Amino acid sequence: MEILISFIIPFIILLTVVVFIHEYGHYYYAKKYGVGVTDFSIGFGKEIFGFNDKNGTRWKFCLIPLGGYVKFFGDRNVFSQTEQEALLKKYNKTDQKKLFVTKPLYQRALIVAGGPLANFLLAIVIFSCIYMFVGKDFTPAKIEEIVTESPAEKSGLKKNDIIIGINGNKIESILEVSTFINTSTADIITIKVLRNEKELILQAKPDIIDSKDPFGNSIKKKMIGIKIGPASQEFNREKLGPTKALFYSFKEIWFVTETTMKFIGSFFQGKGDTSQLGGPIKIAKISGQVMEFGILAFLSTVAYISISLGLINLFPIPLLDGGHLMFYLFEKILGRPLKQATQEGFFRIGLFLLLSLMVFTTFNDLKDWGLLQ
């Protein structure tokens, strides 16, 4: 019962929100361009409950809440349809106008891209609301202590230095220092400091140690051996106006996107830490843990998961939205859709890649829970 309350319920709430928003993005553009929608499902498998709206769409919640889908009239899939003539013969002219495959290429692309776009929009709304009604931290970061023989000492960093940049990123908050250090994929970290009103650029090679995050999970952490505190001895949290809140919301989405792409790139370079990859079990664990820190922490996690879902779905892998968009790009270049057999071949490859990733992340999740050694 404790596991149900602590992990499963927060996980279902989180996943339901981000999946609903994603699928609603597809649904919105489908309805905008006159495509018939027969099903809007949160989850897979047996339907638990649902209802039909006035347009005949079945809205339902299914047994396995690990995703969702929007089913279009006359077609279960949204890839480039190469056998349109046979399909069109099944329907009269009125129904043909509701078919996804009869729509112009740009409309099909927007319908497919609508899911990821909705995920990014959700993150913007959450971040903007937090920044406007709760505030954003702008406390300058001052070095209060340096560990002897640490990377920081070897780099030339000194007590009372104010950190104003890391790896080309402007540091506007004390909270960003650890974030930029630990998300860096470079072997050497470039640090810009303000010392006696002069800017200095120094470099440090961080130590990688086994540590614990605030929830007690085992992680690999990069340390340079400094203790930081507020430069003015007090924290500065500022409530932002709508324009500034939007700016920092977009900035946060860009940071997550850039960090994710660098993280993926590090795997191809043989530098990535595969133990950091996780799947639904890890998300369930994290969602339960952040709920203990309150609604703001949970909402922030919803925003970050939403960004990740939107970004991953844009990867050019068949079965994902990005895979469909890749087919539309080929269609635009060639002036015709790819042959059905070619598309099916790509889909088999995409299925293999996604299943392999699912197995790998599940293995990591079970290790994280101590169920595997």
Among the listed ranges 28-32, 233-237, 288-292, which one has the minimum average pLDDT value? 288-292
Residue 78's pLDDT band (cuts 50, 70, 90): very low
pLDDT at position 264: 76
Alpha helices in 269-294 (DSSP H): 280-291
More confident residue, 109 or 358: 109
pLDDT at position 231: 80
Closest among 326, 298, 332 to 313, alpha carbons compared? 326
**Of all residues in the chain, what percent carry a pLDDT higher than 90?**
50
The catalytically annotated residue of 23, 172, 258, 331 is: 23
More confident residue, 367 or 15: 15
Look over the chain and give the mean of its residue pLDDT values, rounded to a whole number.
Answer: 85
For residue 220, list its beta bridge partners.
Answer: 210
Q: Are 343 and 319 in contact (CB under 8 A)?
A: no
pLDDT at position 189: 93
pLDDT at position 107: 96
Alpha carbon of residue 289 to chain centroid: 18
CA distances 135 to 114, 128, 173, 180, 238, Å, are 30, 9, 12, 21, 5
pLDDT at position 80: 47
- pLDDT, one tens digit per residue, over 134-186 is 999 999 999 999 999 999 999 999 999 999 999 989 999 998 998 888 888 88
pLDDT at position 353: 80
Q: Which CATH fold topology does 136-238 show?
A: Pdz3 Domain (2.30.42)
- pLDDT, one tens digit per residue, over 294-312 is 889 899 999 999 999 999 9
pLDDT at position 183: 83
CA-based end-to-end distance of the chain: 26
Q: Encode 54-68: b = buried (16+ Cβ within 10 Å), e = exposed.
A: eeebeebbbeebebb
pLDDT at position 79: 46
Stated pTM of the model: 0.87
Residue 232, pLDDT > 70, answer: yes
Please state, in angstroms and rounded to a whole number, the distance separating the CA atoms of residues 117 and 142: 38
pLDDT at position 10: 84
Structure tokens at 181: 């250090």
pLDDT at position 96: 83
Residue 344's pLDDT band (cuts 50, 70, 90): confident
- What is the rounded average pLDDT of the residues 318-343? 88
Residue 87, pLDDT > 80, answer: no
Q: Are 361 and 277 in contact (CB under 8 A)?
A: yes
pLDDT at position 101: 85
141-146 vs 162-166, strand pairing mode: antiparallel
- pLDDT, one tens digit per residue, over 177-230 is 988 888 888 889 999 999 998 999 999 999 888 776 666 666 778 889 999 988
Is 23 annotated in the active site? yes
- pLDDT, one tens digit per residue, over 43-52 is 999 999 999 9
Residues of the chain with CATH 2.30.42.10: 136-238
